[in-house]
Amino acid sequence: MKLTPQQIVERMWGEDAFSQELGMEILDLGAGFCSVRLRVQASMVNGFKIAHGGITYSLSDSAMAFAANAHGKVAMSIETAISHVKKAVLGDVLTAHCKELSRGKIVGRFEVEVKNQEEQVVALFKGTVFYTEESWG
Amino acid sequence: MKLTPQQIVERMWGEDAFSQELGMEILDLGAGFCSVRLRVQASMVNGFKIAHGGITYSLSDSAMAFAANAHGKVAMSIETAISHVKKAVLGDVLTAHCKELSRGKIVGRFEVEVKNQEEQVVALFKGTVFYTEESWG
Amino acid sequence: MKLTPQQIVERMWGEDAFSQELGMEILDLGAGFCSVRLRVQASMVNGFKIAHGGITYSLSDSAMAFAANAHGKVAMSIETAISHVKKAVLGDVLTAHCKELSRGKIVGRFEVEVKNQEEQVVALFKGTVFYTEESWG
Amino acid sequence: MKLTPQQIVERMWGEDAFSQELGMEILDLGAGFCSVRLRVQASMVNGFKIAHGGITYSLSDSAMAFAANAHGKVAMSIETAISHVKKAVLGDVLTAHCKELSRGKIVGRFEVEVKNQEEQVVALFKGTVFYTEESWG
């Protein structure tokens, strides 16, 4: 029986210690899209008192993983790039909006826009996943 | 008085909550290069029981930040890309080796190779920093 | 006197031997956006009888250069990435649509979608330009 | 009978109109590596009288295609990124040195350094190829 996007991501989420650790929250989800949110906490800042680049990256990467796997086949991230457009500071609420750009049998492309609570773009992420033969469920 | 690479990175490190949180350790450091290590902990795995992509990214990004700022001018990461070459699993010890590829007045390019305890390449990172007018110290 | 986007790009175009050589044609233009078209000719294919990756790249890079410079300051491309999504073959008419993602004093980000005559996505390009102090006109 | 790297690339080259058109010349070749050279001609400059970004990209992309296919399986470029480090001007002789960073069954990673006649780095290229099931020969 084919699993729904929600069922697939529930399984992923249950074992995704790092996304949980960072306090991520899934806002929206479907085959090929996903929105995930987190709040910048004191443990997430770097030497410039702004969110470490790894925070927006991790948020984007999780959003892409959920969006890509929601199609039903196990997808692995192979290539990703992120542009840091604007600083995110302590207390900011960041939302990553992931959408699919193209989808083949083997490879899928996604882009993620990370915005803060004032709808300003904080980061732009682009990623490629590889679809394995393995199905969810 | 010009600060040494060690003095600059000590200051950065003291405020870098996220790198500390992930248990990073600086092994080697100089103007334009840096090696940083961490151990993959239970809190760092994702839904596939392998290290979240954000772990190798964060390790690489920290290594680049230290290497770039060690020159004496405040450097901000603007564009980065990472290829996930091999899975990292719970207990793996990952070391990011960052070296400078080119350096101009305004822009510097770096590459980072992340290897596991068996010297296998886990991830390949490439980044561009912007050098501000501001100096350390 | 400030030049218009059209006046700036006319000047660029007049000296842009390579874009002319490839038979590019500007369809639409303004500050921060541009569409450019070309037809895949026999001289542009590679060993697989499909358009060389350099064709969609060059088309995208020209579109970004025109869109970025149209703001009035001289802009130089510093970082670009392109995903080859679908083959382009002899006779295909490719159109690159460039739009601005973000714009700061020093750095601007752009994305370009390259589509064929059937509106299928052939390539996805993302680029960063550096805005110099120098103005056009 | 398995073809040698030289035999494979000879076949590719014979049909690679664009690489020939740009006056490329293969200097060195083997499974996973390749060096290719060209001279910046008047037809290759852009509106700033410097080599169009598409020139160093095309040179790098050809070098990667030859290096990757030389292993014996048909390889397609899927993701590439290039940093433009230094201007190349009319008359410059550019050499792209491609080496393999990692190689799996399905995906291979390569980097290319483009240098001018004074051994200065002009561009840094990184690419990912997908290995198809199809073999050469």
Taken in order of first residue, the domains within chain B and their CATH numbers are 5-135 (3.10.129.10)
CB crowding A57-69: b at 16 or more within 10 Å, else e: bbbbbbbbbbbbb
Residue of chain B with shortest Cα separation from A83: B79
**Cα separation, C42 vs C19, whole angstroms:** 16
Q: What is the pLDDT of residue C103?
A: 93
Q: Is C16 helix (H, G, I), strand (E, B) or coil?
A: coil
Dig out the tokens for A6 from the structure. Answer: 């929600």
Q: How far is D48 from chain C (nearest CA, A)?
A: 7
Q: Which of A9, A18, A131 to mutate to test the interface with B (most CBs of B within 10 A)?
A: A18
Q: What is the pLDDT of residue D1?
A: 67
Q: What is the pLDDT of residue C137?
A: 81
Is C58 within 8 Å of D61 when comparing Cβ atoms?
A: no
In B, which residues are within 8 Å of C81 by CB distance? 81
Query: Given pLDDT bands bounded at 50, 70 and 90, which one contains residue A102?
Result: very high
Q: What's the pLDDT tens digit per position in C44-77?
A: 998 677 999 999 999 999 999 999 999 999 999 9
Q: What is the pLDDT of residue D28?
A: 97
Q: What is the pLDDT of residue A117?
A: 98
Q: What is the pLDDT of residue A49?
A: 75
The amino acid occupying position B94 is L
Residue B49 has pLDDT above 80, yes or no: no
Q: What is the pLDDT of residue A98?
A: 98
Where do the DSSP E strands lie in chain C?
25-30, 33-39, 73-84, 93-103, 107-115, 121-135
Q: What's the pLDDT tens digit per position in B62-84?
A: 999 999 999 999 999 999 999 99
Average pLDDT, chain B: 95
Q: Residue C109 is nearest to which of A102, A109, A124, comparing CB atoms?
A: A124
Residue A22 has pLDDT above 70, yes or no: yes
Residues on D contacting B at a C-beta cutoff of 8 Å: 81, 83, 85-86, 101-102, 104, 109, 111, 121, 124, 126, 128
Q: What's the pLDDT tens digit per position in A38-61?
A: 999 999 998 667 999 999 999 999
Written as one string, the DSSP assignment of C28-51 is: EEETTEEEEEEE--GGGB-TTSBB
ipTM of the complex: 0.96
Q: What's the pLDDT tens digit per position in A74-95?
A: 999 999 999 999 999 999 999 9
Instruction: Pick the more confident residue, D98 or B48.
Output: D98
Digits of tens for pLDDT over chain D (137 positions)?
A: 689 999 999 999 999 999 999 999 999 999 999 999 999 999 999 867 799 999 999 999 999 999 999 999 999 999 999 999 999 999 999 999 999 999 998 999 999 999 999 999 999 999 999 999 899 98
* Cβ neighbourhood burial of B40 (10 Å; 0-12, 13-18, 19+): buried
The arithmetic mean of pLDDT across residues A9-27, rounded, is 95
Is C126 within 8 Å of A124 when comparing Cβ atoms?
A: yes
Residues in chain C, pLDDT under 50: none
Q: What is the pLDDT of residue B1?
A: 67
Q: What is the pLDDT of residue A137?
A: 81
Q: In sequence order, which ranges of chain B are alpha helices (DSSP H)?
A: 5-15, 17-21, 53-69
Stretch among A21-35, B79-93, B113-127, C42-56 having the lowest mean pLDDT: C42-56
Query: Given pLDDT bands bounded at 50, 70 and 90, which one contains residue B137?
Result: confident
Residue A66 has pLDDT above 70, yes or no: yes
Q: How far is A16 from chain B (nearest CA, A)?
A: 4
Residue of chain D with shortest Cα separation from C126: D81
At CA D19, angle to CA C24 and CA D57, rounded to 5? 65
Query: Given pLDDT bands bounded at 50, 70 and 90, which one contains residue B47?
Result: low
